Amino acid sequence: MRKLYSYYYKSGVFKIILIGIFLTLFLSLFVTIIFELLDIREFKLFNISGYPLELNSITNSRIVNNLLIFLIMVVLWPLVETIVFQYLPLKYCQKWFSKYKYSICMTIVLASVFFALMHAPRVRNICATFLTGLIWCFFCFVLMRKKRRPILYTTIMHGCYNFLGITINSIPLLF
């Protein structure tokens, strides 16, 4: 962990953002392939409704509806999740675990578990989101130590990831 930290600490912000985006995309694809190869049927851990977002009651226009969904999924939620699941745990929980040798690792793992559980109900989502949460939380930690706007840059990574996910999931709808 120290070697990774020192490598990324010396890296530029743009490099950290690009690596964060591509690493999370790769890990999500990896989890999907593993689930498919092992023929693990998708099942819901919890019975939670709400996906996909339905804003038709607010607007009657499909364009406005899609734009609102886009803004929520690519701008608003990544910002909120970065603050709640990466920045605040790193800033405050590390103090709680300070008597332990691996306090930052415990904080990153714990924050990633909560981040993953928030993305329930599907087990595949939880596994992929846990891994992406580890990456984003680690990079948020590096950016906090570099004093380089960790909320902004982690939100950009998360927003780009969501944008690519929305785009990839929308491709079959075009044909």
Tens digits of per-residue pLDDT, 102-137?
Answer: 788 888 999 999 999 988 777 888 899 999 999 999
Contact 158, 73 (CB under 8 A): no
Question: What confidence tier does 158 reach under pLDDT thresholds 50, 70, 90?
Answer: very high
Mean per-residue pLDDT over the chain, rounded: 83
- Cα(57)–Cα(27) distance, integer angstroms: 36
Mean pLDDT of 134-150: 93
Tokens of residue 41, six digits: 């049927």
pLDDT for position 141: 92
Secondary structure of residue 44 in the 3-state scheme: strand
| Residue (of 9, 27, 15, 12) closest to 161 by Cα position | 27
- Cα(70)–Cα(83) distance, integer angstroms: 19
- Cα(159)–Cα(138) distance, integer angstroms: 17
Residues 6+ apart with CB under 8 A from 110: 89, 93
DSSP 15-30: HHHHHHHHHHHHHHHH
Please state, for a pLDDT cut of 90, what percent of the chain lies above it. 41
Reported as a single tens digit per residue, the pLDDT across 70-99 is: 889 899 999 999 999 999 999 888 677 777
pLDDT for position 6: 84
Helix intervals (H) in the chain: 2-10, 13-37, 62-71, 77-82, 88, 94-96, 103-118, 123-146, 150-174
pLDDT for position 42: 63
pLDDT for position 44: 58
pLDDT for position 121: 73
Query: Which has the higher per-residue pLDDT, 57 or 71?
Result: 71
Identity at 7, one-letter amino acid code:
Y
Identity at 137, one-letter amino acid code:
C
pLDDT for position 58: 53
pLDDT for position 171: 73
Please state, for a pLDDT cut of 70, what percent of the chain lies above it. 85
- Cα(52)–Cα(96) distance, integer angstroms: 37
